[in-house]
Amino acid sequence: MKYEITHTNTFNYSTTVDQSMNEIRLKPRTDECQRLLAYRTELTPAALTKEYSDIWGNNVESFFIAEMHQSLEVKTISTISIQRSPFIERIDYSPEMKSIFHSKIFRQQYLPFLNQTMYTFVNQDQVNKVINEIGNTENPVRFSLDLMKYVYDLFTYDPQATDVNTKAIESIEGCKGVCQDYAHVMIGLLRAHNIPARYISGYLYVGEDSALVGDAATHAWVEVMVPGIGWVGLDPTNNVEALENHIRVGVGRDYADVSPLQGVYRGGEQELDVKVSVKLLDQ
């Protein structure tokens, strides 16, 4: 599958801004299943960008605008090729995989994705309720799949119910939210079950006549570490494995590690308009 993604963030300010410093994490990754074919950033007002990789391997572009401006547009255009095959349902959780999963070196290697964060923390009562409903299987693959369906069934997709600052402990009580909330809740419950899990930001191709949800802006889902296999993507917002429709951009412990645009400026209040287009170029 080959896609073209156009992502536009437009900031409008109530007063003139005379300085603006920003970082963006909008460049899709290249890995064993996904290849970045082309990418460019267009900034208005124009500015030079400096690139570096953060601790999680995400591409970061930083830029500084010194001239006076009352709006800022950050537009990125990416071309991506993806080829993934579904397999998680076919995984036979072997005694060797179980041995790795319970080993000390495995826990140490993936410790950042086992520790809870401010976004992913869930309390013990919330954890116990989930365990009572879906069971306490020792197979982390089966548990992850059952948990994905549980979160999907539990939540109602509602963009008005939460915002970017909402934590898992809050959204799980209201059972409403967007893909960020689904992902944080699932990650928190996986980590409480000692399964390494990480937050993925990116894009979702929905196409025509699809029941998938989450293409209006950046999408979010979860990856779990399966011993002997690697990171496997699961999308609790849609109750599907993250395959060729899911375009990976950022990887981290939670949303704070992969926020698409962060910055500071000197000026009045701002309004943000986000537009995302994911176009299928070739199957």
Query: Which of the four CATH numbers 3.50.50.60, 2.60.40.2250, 3.40.50.300, 3.60.15.10 does domain 2-82+262-282 have?
Result: 2.60.40.2250
pLDDT at 136: 82
pTM (predicted TM-score): 0.94
* Contact of 56 with 252, CB cutoff 8 Å: yes
Q: Which of 233, 267, 253, 281 is nearest to 33 (CA)?
A: 233
Q: Where are the domains of the chain?
A: 2-82+262-282, 92-258
pLDDT at 88: 76
Return d(Cα 65, Cα 43) in angstroms, integer.
10
* Contacts within 8 Å (CB) and 24+ apart, 210-214: 211/238, 212/238, 212/240, 212/245, 213/157, 213/179, 213/237, 213/238, 214/178, 214/179, 214/238
pLDDT at 32: 86
* CATH code given to domain 92-258: 3.10.620.30
Q: What is the pLDDT of residues 135-189, one digit of tens each?
A: 888 899 999 999 999 999 999 999 999 999 999 999 999 999 999 999 999 999 9
Average pLDDT of the chain to the nearest whole number: 93
